[in-house]
């Protein structure tokens, strides 16, 4: 009898999972809509925005730059090794620049910034929630949405395209440095091939992805931090959930943008 009920139990568990997932998506969408509504209505806090732009952009540059540099060099090496099997070593500059600009640059930069920024946002907001600082702000007639959440989301959305642009340049130069120093490429020929195969659509794809990734990683950090509860354990859960959610949304939106927007 229990064996016969196993498919039904599995179906019930699957349905519960789908409903919970839809509930999370709905709450996240509602949170995003409210944040956008607050962003277009006064009062605004430009000083807080500039502060967050510095924290997210400038202080994330070292880790993003190092990631792009080593990834570009490793990608050039792997393309060269794979190209040797088909006598296609000359494709290293073209494939490296396309791979970095269209895919690896925005995705890796988004993931690195998410690991650094989403966790920090969630931890800070969750700590303010459990210590009742957010309630104190409301008592003092300061809207925590406009003062805390909107500057973070706007700063992340604005700064990540700049970070990705820098990461793309560093990644391409990493491939260039390894190809010239180790693989025997001529530097001028390598750069000429890179310029010939890089198109405006590649750069546009990279920047669009970066803006979306910046929005979703800040949204994940603010959402989980703002809704935190349960004391110190709640702060830990909020931080973990923010990073995981940011990573998942970056990968999902990357696929959606690649296939639906720039698939042609």
- pLDDT on residue 90: 83
- pLDDT on residue 264: 61
For the chain, the structural domain boundaries read 44-261
Give Cβ neighbours of residue 109 (< 8 Å, ≥ 6 apart).
64, 67, 68, 160, 163, 164, 167, 210, 213
- pLDDT on residue 85: 83
Chunked into runs of 10 residues, the chain (264 residues) has average pLDDT values of: 68 85 88 90 90 92 94 92 82 91 93 92 91 87 90 95 95 94 89 90 92 95 88 87 94 91 69
- pLDDT on residue 8: 76
d(CA 244, CA 241): 5
Asked if 70 contacts 174 with a C-beta cutoff of 8 angstroms, the reply is yes
- pLDDT on residue 42: 86
- pLDDT on residue 234: 85
As separate numbers, helices (DSSP H) first and strands (DSSP E) second, the chain gives 12, 0
pTM of the model: 0.90
d(CA 110, CA 238): 19
Cα dihedral 19, 25, 26, 27 in deg (nearest 10): 110
- pLDDT on residue 3: 61
Widest pairwise Cα distance in the chain:
75
Tokens of 126: 């969750």
């Amino acid at each position: 009898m229990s064996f016969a009920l196993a498919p039904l139990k599995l179906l019930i568990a699957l349905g519960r999972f789908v409903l919970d997932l839809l509930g999370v998506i709905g709450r996240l969408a509602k949170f995003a809509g409210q944040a956008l509504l607050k962003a277009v209505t006064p009062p605004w806090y430009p000083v807080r925005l500039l502060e967050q732009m510095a924290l997210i952009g400038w202080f994330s540059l070292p880790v993003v730059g190092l990631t792009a540099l080593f990834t570009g060099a490793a990608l050039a090496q792997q393309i060269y090794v794979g190209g040797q099997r088909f006598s296609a070593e000359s494709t290293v500059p073209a494939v490296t620049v396309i791979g970095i600009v269209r895919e690896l640059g925005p995705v890796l930069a988004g993931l690195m910034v998410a690991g650094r920024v989403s966790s920090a946002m969630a931890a800070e907001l969750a700590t303010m929630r459990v210590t009742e600082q957010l309630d104190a702000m409301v008592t003092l007639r300061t809207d925590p949405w406009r003062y805390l959440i909107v500057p973070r989301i706007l700063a992340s959305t604005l700064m990540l395209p700049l970070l990705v642009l820098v990461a793309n340049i560093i990644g391409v130069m990493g491939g260039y440095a390894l190809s010239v120093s180790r693989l025997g490429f001529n530097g001028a020929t390598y750069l000429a091939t890179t310029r010939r195969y890089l198109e405006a659509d590649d750069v546009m794809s990279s920047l669009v992805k970066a803006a979306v990734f910046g929005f979703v990683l800040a949204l994940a950090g603010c959402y989980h931090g703002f809704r935190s509860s349960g004391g110190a354990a709640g702060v830990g859960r909020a931080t973990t959930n923010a990073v995981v959610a940011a990573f998942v949304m970056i990968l999902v939106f990357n696929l959606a943008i690649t296939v639906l927007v720039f698939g042609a």
